[in-house]
């Protein structure tokens, strides 16, 4: 019997045959291959198409997925639609799960089911397959066009186009790189076509001491867009002249250029042959800190913290250089303003810097270290609590008479009691107990106890 569903056509309720005939769902039903009509095979192939379209961000193109294609339970397009005795259609897996839970009602109408048989809705299934097949065909055609255009741009830039011409120069080169960047960042699959056309070697060759920042900006953006970089390409990019250009762009470029430069350096650091001394550059470290302090660009803050954290991990001598540019007080001041996902890497950096004498001294001398560290205890995560506790332990051990009373005044005692009574790891509780003892030794008993009670009452 005809199935009735709500359609985006002025609130009218039409049966599928009428909707198909009138073209409400975007055109007549296209022929479906006999093999694709197999009950077991078609849903699998349809699901693969949907997944590929979703992965490419092209699930429905410019038109919305018709409402009749959507399962009322999952709100996702159906691949194996079945109909209940109430006339409502659902994805087989979803309604089967509903019935398996013991429900004997229709999820949409809440009518009691007089028959729990699931009838395959072949018409709707073909309609869904035809609609998504049409979208998939368009998507593949566009992808092929994008891939071809990307390859043409690479060949034009290399001077290997047919008919053979000289490589593009000047503004024509910048324009071609900009178009290639747009293709690579908008359509992820294009990055493979860029690599296959020899684009990686081209982009690597464009970065050098005489490269303009306009060309370098576009080349770096394409390199970090997902273009596969092999070991040879990474080795070439680690040449001093190329790294120097990237560092210059990090310090002088626009915000998106700075972020891309940081990401490129981070990619190179993962290479087995990476030389740690490559990042031992004051100019690089200053540029990264500027990016971290620029709160207008959250992506830049995240990228900068990740790079600085990696530098601290792989090149211990760089820690003293990072301290020398004033990173410790800058990071401490930023802690209360950082997004949640940025707090942990910032604390990791401070913890690494406290491993060198000048880093510990900078932590002690920063007027906000104690207050900001106390506030982070038992806040973001256990890892953050561990790092903040480590900072407090460092400064209180260095100058107990000065720092321990200041920490108690900031509410440390009550926070330490919370850590001890919480479900944190045993070693963390032990560290909190030791710090509590240290604070008590440097604070009069009466004031210490009253401060604990007062702080816990306020909290």
**DSSP string computed for 221-289:** HHHTTT----HHHHHHHTSHHHHHHHHHHHHHS-HHHHHHHHHHHHHHHTSTT--GGGG--HHHHHHHH
Question: 63-120 and 143-372: same fold?
Answer: no
- 11 pLDDT above the threshold of 60: no
pLDDT tens sequence across 47-57: 887 777 776 55
CATH class (in words) of the domain with range 143-372: mainly alpha
Cα gap 402→415, rounded to integer Å: 19
For the chain, the average pLDDT equals 82
- 404 pLDDT above the threshold of 90: no
Cα gap 43→382, rounded to integer Å: 45
> Which pLDDT band, with edges at 50, 70 and 90, does 387 fall under?
very high
Task: Supply the DSSP string of 104-126, one letter for each residue.
Answer: -B-TTT-PBPS----EE-HHHHH
Mean pLDDT of 276-288: 89
Choose the weakest-confidence range: 144-153, 155-164, 391-400: 155-164
Torsional sign, CA 176, 179, 184, 187 = negative
- Res 220: pLDDT: 94
> Which pLDDT band, with edges at 50, 70 and 90, does 315 fall under?
confident
Cβ burial of 389 (10 Å; 0-12, 13-18, 19+) is buried
Who contacts 144 (Cβ-Cβ below 8 Å, separation ≥6)?
none
In the chain, the N- to C-terminal Cα span, in Å, equals 66
Selection from 116, 137, 142 nearest residue 49 by Cα: 137
CATH class (in words) of the domain with range 63-120: alpha beta
pTM, two decimals, is 0.67
Instruction: Report the length, in residues, of the chain.
Output: 459
- 454 pLDDT above the threshold of 50: no
- Res 403: pLDDT: 86
> Which pLDDT band, with edges at 50, 70 and 90, does 193 fall under?
confident
> Which pLDDT band, with edges at 50, 70 and 90, does 211 fall under?
confident
Over the range 362-379, which residues count as b (16 or more CB within 10 Å of their CB) and which as e? bbbebeebbbbbbbbbbe
Cα gap 237→314, rounded to integer Å: 19
Choose the weakest-confidence range: 207-211, 226-230, 303-307: 207-211
Residues 395, 399, 403, CA angle at the centre, nearest 5°?
65
> Which pLDDT band, with edges at 50, 70 and 90, does 8 fall under?
very low
Choose the weakest-confidence range: 80-89, 237-246, 332-341, 438-447: 438-447
Mean pLDDT of 35-63: 60
Widest distance between CA atoms in the chain: 90
Q: Which stretch of DSSP H or E encloses residue 181? A: helix 170-186
- Res 143: pLDDT: 65
- Res 163: pLDDT: 61
Inter-residue contact 389 to 431 (CB < 8 Å):
yes
> In terms of DSSP bridges, do strands 119-120 and 81-83 run parallel, antiparallel, or are they unpaired?
antiparallel
Written as six digits, the tokens of 213 are 């920042």
> Which pLDDT band, with edges at 50, 70 and 90, does 6 fall under?
very low
Give domain limits for the chain.
Answer: 63-120, 143-372, 373-458
Mean pLDDT of 276-286: 88
> Which pLDDT band, with edges at 50, 70 and 90, does 444 fall under?
low
Q: Which stretch of DSSP H or E encloses residue 156? A: helix 122-158
> Which pLDDT band, with edges at 50, 70 and 90, does 310 fall under?
very high
- Res 353: pLDDT: 95
- 14 pLDDT above the threshold of 90: no
Mean pLDDT of 29-34: 41
- 32 pLDDT above the threshold of 60: no
- 18 pLDDT above the threshold of 70: no
Written as six digits, the tokens of 268 are 């190179």
- 108 pLDDT above the threshold of 70: yes
> Which pLDDT band, with edges at 50, 70 and 90, does 312 fall under?
very high
- Res 56: pLDDT: 52
């Amino acid at each position: 019997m005809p199935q009735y569903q709500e359609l985006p056509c002025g609130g009218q309720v039409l049966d599928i045959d009428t909707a198909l005939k009138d073209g409400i769902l975007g055109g007549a039903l296209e022929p479906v291959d006999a093999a694709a009509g197999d009950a077991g095979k078609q849903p699998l192939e349809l699901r693969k198409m949907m997944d590929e379209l979703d992965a490419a961000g092209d699930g429905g193109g410019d038109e919305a997925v018709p409402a009749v294609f959507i399962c009322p339970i999952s709100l996702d397009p159906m691949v194996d639609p079945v109909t209940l005795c109430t006339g409502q259609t659902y994805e087989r897996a979803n309604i089967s799960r509903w019935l398996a839970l013991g429900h004997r009602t229709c999820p949409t109408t809440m009518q009691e089911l007089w028959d729990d048989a699931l009838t395959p809705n072949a018409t709707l299934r073909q309609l869904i397959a035809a609609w998504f097949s049409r979208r998939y065909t368009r998507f593949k055609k566009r992808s092929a066009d994008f891939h071809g255009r990307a390859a043409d741009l690479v060949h034009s830039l290399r001077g290997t186009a047919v008919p053979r011409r000289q490589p593009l120069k000047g503004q024509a080169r910048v324009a071609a790189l900009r178009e290639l960047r747009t293709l690579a960042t908008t359509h992820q699959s294009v990055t493979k076509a860029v690599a296959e056309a020899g684009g990686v070697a081209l982009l690597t060759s464009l970065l050098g001491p005489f490269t303009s920042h306009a060309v370098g900006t576009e080349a770096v953006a394409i390199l970090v867009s997902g273009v596969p970089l092999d070991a040879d390409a990474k080795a070439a990019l680690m040449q001093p002249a190329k790294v120097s250009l990237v560092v210059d762009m990090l310090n002088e470029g626009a915000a998106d250029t700075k972020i891309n430069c940081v990401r490129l350096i981070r990619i190179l650091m993962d290479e087995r042959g990476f030389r740690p001394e490559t990042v031992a550059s004051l100019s690089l470290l200053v540029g990264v800190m500027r990016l971290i302090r620029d709160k207008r660009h959250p992506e830049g803050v995240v990228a900068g913290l990740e790079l600085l954290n990696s530098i601290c991990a792989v090149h211990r001598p760089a820690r003293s250089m990072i301290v020398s540019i004033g990173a410790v007080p800058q990071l401490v001041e930023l802690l209360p303003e950082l997004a949640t996902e940025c707090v942990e890497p910032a604390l990791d950096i401070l913890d690494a810097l406290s491993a060198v004498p000048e880093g510990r001294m900078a932590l002690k001398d920063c007027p906000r270290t104690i207050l900001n560290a106390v506030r982070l205890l038992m806040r973001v995560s256990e890892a953050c609590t561990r790092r903040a506790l480590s900072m407090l332990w460092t400064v209180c051990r260095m100058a107990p008479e000065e720092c321990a009373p200041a920490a108690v005044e900031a509410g440390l005692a009550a926070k330490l009691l919370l850590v001890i009574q919480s479900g944190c790891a045993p070693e963390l509780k032990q560290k909190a107990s030791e710090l509590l003892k240290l604070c008590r030794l440097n604070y009069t008993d009466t004031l210490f106890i009253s401060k604990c009670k007062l702080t816990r009452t306020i909290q």
